[in-house]
Chain A
Amino acid sequence: MSIDLWLYDTSKPHSDFPDNVATMKMRELSLFMRTKILASLLGKKADKLVFSTSADGKPHLENNEGLRFNVSHSGTLWGMAVSYDATEIGFDIENERPRKYMSKMMETYFHHKEFLKYKSLPEQLERTAYFYTLWTQKEAYAKYLGLGLKYKFSADAFPAEIPDELNILSGVVLTALPQGSTSYLSLACSALMSPKNLIFLGDTSLNVRITD
């Protein structure tokens, strides 16, 4: 089984982008990139792809030959995870940014154990890393389940492990991240993956942190 990740910094030129990328809203670009990559993978014309969404809003492709995908974007980053053997996946990216209500968000929306751990961390930098790590894990897990906002972040306490490198999956297309940026990525899937340096949350999640 393999899962491929595409990740782009859309603020930088790339031959995969349309000519009018500078004037496109992220949502528009996201739909373009999603269609372009999936059409290429399936060897079909873009206009032959038929997308639909589940009752809870998870997008999928009709007549997909076992292909599953999940898209995320944050700031100027856009990414998509793809699996090829009907392995369900959920994927999330977040760009770190100051959040005035971070502690309140932890207290209100996360598991009590997670909030206690957050509070126990001595430095704000550690707290921020923990917050974004957990957020992306839970968001990816919620998207994997196909529940989105219906999944209550307080339902489960997650361990938050951060492996050292992203460059661990086949087919990864990485562009350079902006200088000094810190971004967090999590992928949740329904099967164990073989690369030894993927870290799993239970049996369903991996989390990767990219620092420039």
Chain B
Amino acid sequence: MKTSREDVFQIVKESLIDLFEIPKDDITLDAKLYEDLDIDSIDAVDLIVRLKEKTGKKPDVEIFKEVRSVGDIVDAVYDLVNK
């Protein structure tokens, strides 16, 4: 069964709240990871491990070179889980 973008967004959102205690209202698709949410590279790896646990797919750490926003992560994970 195909996982929807909304499902992926919820997984990413819950992960950001659980791992980094980011207020849920701050987590929008447009929120910038580095500028708005203060996610750094160690957090990025932490998040990837969590996303792998939740989705069964492991995003490459290098995707964080390319992504800028929560929406970018959602798109990357969505593509990965529906490949």
Where the two chains meet, the residues of A that have a C-beta atom closer than 8 Å to any C-beta of B are 25-27, 57, 73-74, 94, 99-101, 104-105, 108-109, 135, 139, 148-150
Size of the B side of the interface (Cβ < 8 Å), in residues, is 21
Q: How far is the CB of A56 from chain B (nearest CB, A)?
A: 8
CA distance A108 to B49 in the complex (A): 8
Instruction: Using known A-B contacts A94-B42, A101-B49, A108-B49, determine if residue A149 contacts B19 with beta carbons closer than 8 Å.
Output: no
What 1/0 mask marks residues of chain B from 13 to 46 whose CB sits below 8 Å from any chain A CB? 0000011000000000000001110101110111
Known: A57-B65, A148-B65. A105 touches B46 (CB 8 A): yes
B50 part of interface (Cβ distance < 8 Å): yes
Interchain CA distance A109-B59 in the complex, whole Å? 12
8 A-B interface contacts by CB (under 8 A): A25-B35, A57-B65, A73-B40, A100-B19, A101-B49, A108-B58, A149-B61, A150-B65
How many Å lie between the Cα of A53 and that of B62 in the bound state?
A: 18
Which A residues lie within 8 Å of B44 (CB)? 149
Contact B49 A27 (CB under 8 A): no
- In the docked arrangement, what's the CA distance between A108 and B59, Å? 12
* Interface of A: prevailing SS: helix
CB distance from A57 to the nearest CB of B (A): 7
Q: Which residues of A contact B50 (CB under 8 A)?
A: 100-101
Tell whether A74 pairs with B40 under 8 Å between CB atoms, given A25-B35, A27-B34: yes
> Are A109 and B45 in contact, with the CB atoms below 8 A?
yes
State how many angstroms separate the Cβ of A184 from the closest Cβ of chain B.
11
On whether the beta carbons of A149 and B65 are closer than 8 Å, the reply is yes
The answer to whether A139 and B42 touch across the interface, beta carbons within 8 angstroms, is yes
Chain A residues with CB under 8 A of B46: 99-101, 105
Docked complex Cα distance between A25 and B34 (Å): 10
- A residues less than 8 Å from B38 (CB atoms): 26
Which 6 pairs show the lowest CB-CB distances between chains A and B?
Answer: A101-B49, A104-B49, A149-B65, A27-B35, A105-B49, A149-B62
- B65: chain A residues within 8 A (beta carbon): 57, 148-150
The answer to whether B41 and A139 have CB atoms under 8 Å apart is yes
- Complex alpha-carbon distance, A99 and B21, angstroms: 12
Which chain A residues border B42 with CB–CB below 8 Å? 94, 135, 139
A75 to chain B: closest residue by CB: B38
CA of A94 to CA of B42, assembled, Å: 9
